[in-house]
Structure 1
């Protein structure tokens, strides 16, 4: 695999730093904690870590409201702590990606304080300001992703400013050359410190239609849906000019060598693919593919989904897959423990670069957040609709000691109820654990190029069996996933000679593979390795 780019054969691991490892007893994770746990990634078989925002911030949206793009929030540590972390990661052969938040800043960022100070301030156009509508109300009908109008009146200067997220998160105006130059300089700052790339937050939001027309109403919206869905974000997101900005970011990344850009983009498949760019104007290398998070857990539907995604990829486009992140419910919470194991096998054997969300490797599932512990601003603004993100941001469980070894203080969010048995130390000793399954899958992925970088062929099956073949230079693997709760028999190619197997539930599956048929147990995933041809 030496001819492959590092990120093509890599497995990425997302860290939510508030919840990963605390070292000073304040109940909140920090950079020193991530450094302390680097060997966990080496043991697991991870290649790159992506850290959610660590920048100075008022923490209204837990770091996605940035007040300084070239610093570290004191709760996480210092720039010196970051430098030690990246040096320690690189010493272990690990890449490190940072979260970059280019669509909006905090309203406490010095740029915004200048921008709102007067209409003739040099940084006025670094943000998006508009006059009121003829009736004195907001300039248009755009809705914040957190509910309510996306426009906030500013009495000092007598205009509205735009905020796609919270009112405390004014959107940056990437049409302004000065703002664009300052943000690209911020990226250079981190590249110069050695970061291996960025995950770019809500990339598809960064440019808005120049005339700011109303968004069309959503005819499918009904009460109980999120307020943001009352309109279709036709003019407030995914504008053609964004691809030019993505190309500029890519050119900057390429000037530093083998740096990676991952774009957060929630769009339909045809529009998602545009973010790869073109050979003449490349975009981000990996536009995030979130389809597994939202898709119904149905074999036939997933078969078609994977096939459609592969068919839609542009020439040279490399696939990627995720099962969860800091915004969406965990796989074990959505699917249950048995099918979460099947999903892990799916994630780590599909063609492309997978991203694992912290805690999924130990199978953290549903976490109940008492009303008095709710911290997420989205849940606080639209309570009871099920959009709260606290349950997927709870502390990592490392061992059976107090607070699961996460902190010596009081954790900022409660742990999952079964943390005494569902923790890294306990699962490392259990060959049947979720952690051991992930470690085994990643070990096989590293050992077999067919699984890491090989081509993929979907296999037609019936019922709740999802199947595909991976192959590379004479090596072949077959993945069989039973998404159902009953046994199912599957045929194998007549020339297939199994020399190795890994099951999500059976510690010794190989004796079952003796003919051209195999019976999958209920809720079982099976990875079969063929002999070399």
Structure 2
């Protein structure tokens, strides 16, 4: 086992905040920075020591802030730069750190840089974005430069009438991709998006779409969807030839501030490539989010699937791939089940049935806290919040990805009712919208998200189940999901060698009902046993462990049975 250097971010427990949906302090129906400041003591009480703020920059909000109009300003409904400076200071006073979302693969089409770039072919900033001439087919019809499918559907290319060329946008047409091959562009990005905030005291970044900056040769992607003109191209535009250079440059800046990075790293099945990104000696990124776990059960196009379309062994193998990043390496890894781009983990990986929600929330909390790496919790996960119900109308889905998919199915199926029912069922299981509903703070008006006398409705409909799942009630309920998260995070700190740094081994990979894994650190050993079913299951341990003396460290239920696990029960045993 490689001895791993201890860093503050390795022992970190990070709480991710989606500003629009966390806490509305002024009654306009939109969460804001002052709302976050008002709840820092609550966040700290969970056992968290880092907060991550999703994009709070000035933005037209086409993609919920991931379309940045100005890196050096704050989106007005959220507050001001001064509010951000106060938030940074208030975190530090509490012994907490704060990281921001770094969104630099693209900007908004309203960013001053892009407005200049598209103004003429001779503008000094023309080459700050990726422009290409049209292709023409045999009939003389104008076509985009290649067949790449955008992440939100349609072509990755948008025609610009003014200069008669296409520009690249891997996401919405309003999110043009920056040209990282231009050194002047890179320096402007580092100065405006990174150093502006590092100078104000932020402690690092979650780096959005971190492996997309170097696009390679931009050749046509292979045909994987014969019904579409546009083809999945993630393996074309991710992990290009200049990625090492660009990340080394960024790291030089970050090291001056002892700042951490966690990169979003999609479409990278080659674990050797992942290791290169996060190896300490490579000086690129501290860690990445691998999507192996949260991609489980998705279709060829994310939503082209049915709910729970995966097996427990495939889920376990995905976890093993991310855990094995630290085996005999100088690399580091992450633990997460939820973020702003995922639906709720209880609904996806356990059971959100009313009788199982609390047990499921505790089971997943125990599992996360027993896995190695930096732990990330998404707002509301600590309460056991779940997806909103299937009965909600499609009008409640606000995310561009959801509405685009539903519209595509309607168009392809000629509004076939069966196809639309299936599409909605998939969205109800997987849509990003479920993570974006306002946090349930209490049973009061607007679930306590907005002030009680607020005349404005929250920007998204709050959940209907606040009477059984809200932060105020759970703070005084010793049997709540929140109380269990606090207990588990305390245990994780007490046994950090084993639980944060230990080596992971799956002991029952093909078991369809139990997830049993060992954690080992220099002679110390713990075993975690998780029942992913709604019924009692016999506890099967490998012979060498079944015969060892073991001490029950924690169970997610109060009444622990001998020889069997209750429905959605998890346990950790210490072996001696």
Tell me the TM-score normalized by structure 2. Answer: 0.84
In 2 relative to 1, CA 473–76 (structure 1 residues): closer, same or farther, beyond 3 Å?
same
Distance 1:289 1:437 in 2: 26
Q: Tell me the secondary structure at the aligned position of residue 143 of structure 2.
A: coil
1:370 equivalenced with 2:393 (yes/no): yes
1:301 is aligned, of 297, 301, 314, to 314
Q: How does 1:154-233 map to 2 (within 5 A)?
A: 154-186=160-192, 187-210=194-217, 212-218=218-224, 221=225, 230-233=231-234
1:502 aligns with 2:554: yes
Pick one of 489, 492, 495 that aligns with 2:539: 489
Q: Distance in 2 between matches of 1:470 and 1:309?
A: 14
Change (3 A) 1:69 1:478: same
1:429/1:525 CA distance change after superposition, 3 Å: same
SS in 2 for 1:398: coil
- Rate the CA distance shift 1:229–1:243 in 2: closer, same or farther, 3 A: farther
Between the aligned partners of 1:91 and 1:424, the Cα distance in structure 2 is 24
Contact 2:116 2:126 in 1 (8 A): yes
**What is residue 381 of structure 1 aligned with on the other side?**
404
Which moved further from structure 2: 400-409 or 275-284?
A: 275-284
Q: Which residue of 2 aligns with 1:470?
A: 519
The unaligned stretches of length 5 or more in structure 1 are none
Kept in 2, the 8 Å contact 1:9–1:453? The answer is yes
Indicate conservation of the 8 Å contact 1:331/1:365, yes or no: yes
Which whole-Å CA distance do the structure 2 matches of 1:49 and 1:420 have between them?
27
Greater alpha carbon shift after TM alignment, 140-149 vs 193-202: 140-149
1:58 is aligned to: 60
10, 15, 18: which is aligned to 1:8?
A: 10
Deviations, residues 398-440 of structure 1 (Å, cap 9, x unaligned): 1122111110331110111201220011112222221111111
Alignment partners' CA distance in 2, 1:293 and 1:233: 17
Out of 364-373 and 142-151, give the one that drifted further.
364-373
- Cα deviation, residue 487, structure 1: 1.7
Query: Are 2:283 and 1:250 aligned?
Result: no
Larger mean CA deviation between 489-498 and 359-368 belongs to: 489-498
> CA offset at residue 299 of structure 1?
4.4
Query: Is residue 503–residue 526 contact of structure 1 (8 Å, CA) maintained in 2?
Result: yes
**Counterparts of residues 279-318 of structure 1 (less than 5 Å):** 280-295=281-296, 298-313=311-326, 315-318=329-332
Task: Describe the shift of the 1:233–1:294 C-alpha distance in structure 2 as closer, same or farther (beyond 3 A).
Answer: closer
Partner SS for 2:197: helix
Tell me if the contact between 1:144 and 1:228 (Cα under 8 Å) persists in the aligned partners. no
Q: Does 1:522 align with 2:563?
A: no
Is 2:77 the counterpart of 1:72? no
Structure 2 counterpart of 1:435: 482
Matched positions, count? 516
Alignment RMSD, CA only?
2.4
SS in 2 for 1:235: helix
- The alpha-carbon deviation at position 303 of structure 1 amounts to 4.0
Q: Offset of 1:84 from its aligned partner?
A: 0.8
Judged with a 3 Å threshold, the aligned counterparts in structure 2 of structure 1 residues 228 and 442 are, in CA distance, closer, same or farther, namely farther
Structure 1 match to 2:24: 22
Post-superposition Cα deviations, 1:151-207, rounded to whole Å, max 9, x if no partner, equal: 111111111111111111111111111110011112011111111100011112222
CA drift of 1:522 comes to 2.5
Distance 2:6 2:384 in 1: 31
Distance 2:335 2:368 in 1: 6
Cα distance in 1 for residues equivalent to 2:494 and 2:108:
45
The TM-score with structure 1 as length reference comes to: 0.91
Q: 1:305 Cα shift?
A: 3.5
Conserved? CA contact 1:366–1:391, under 8 Å: yes
- After TM superposition, give the deviation of residue 316 of structure 1 in Å: 0.7
Q: How far has the Cα of 1:474 moved from its partner?
A: 6.1
**Separation (CA, whole Å) in 1 of partners of 2:112 and 2:443:** 44
Match of 1:339 in 2: 360
1:449 aligns with 496
Q: Is the 8 A contact 1:107 1:113 kept in 2?
A: yes
Find the aligned partners of 1:443 and 1:452 in 2 and give their Cα distance. Answer: 11
Distance 1:411 1:479 in 2: 41
- Distance in 2 of aligned mates of 1:125 and 1:158: 15
Looking at structure 1, the residues matched to 550 and 400 of structure 2 have their Cα atoms a distance apart, in angstroms, of 55
> 1:361·1:438 contact (CA, 8 Å) conserved in 2?
yes
Equivalent of 2:125 in 123, 138, 153 = 123
- Aligned counterparts of 2:170 and 2:229: Cα–Cα separation in 1: 10
Match of 2:262 in 1: 262
Q: Which moved more, 1:234-243 or 1:72-81?
A: 234-243
- Counterpart of 2:73 in 1: which secondary structure? coil
- C-alpha spacing 1:116/1:363, structure 2 compared with 1 (3 Å): same
Structure 1 residue 459: Cα displacement: 5.2
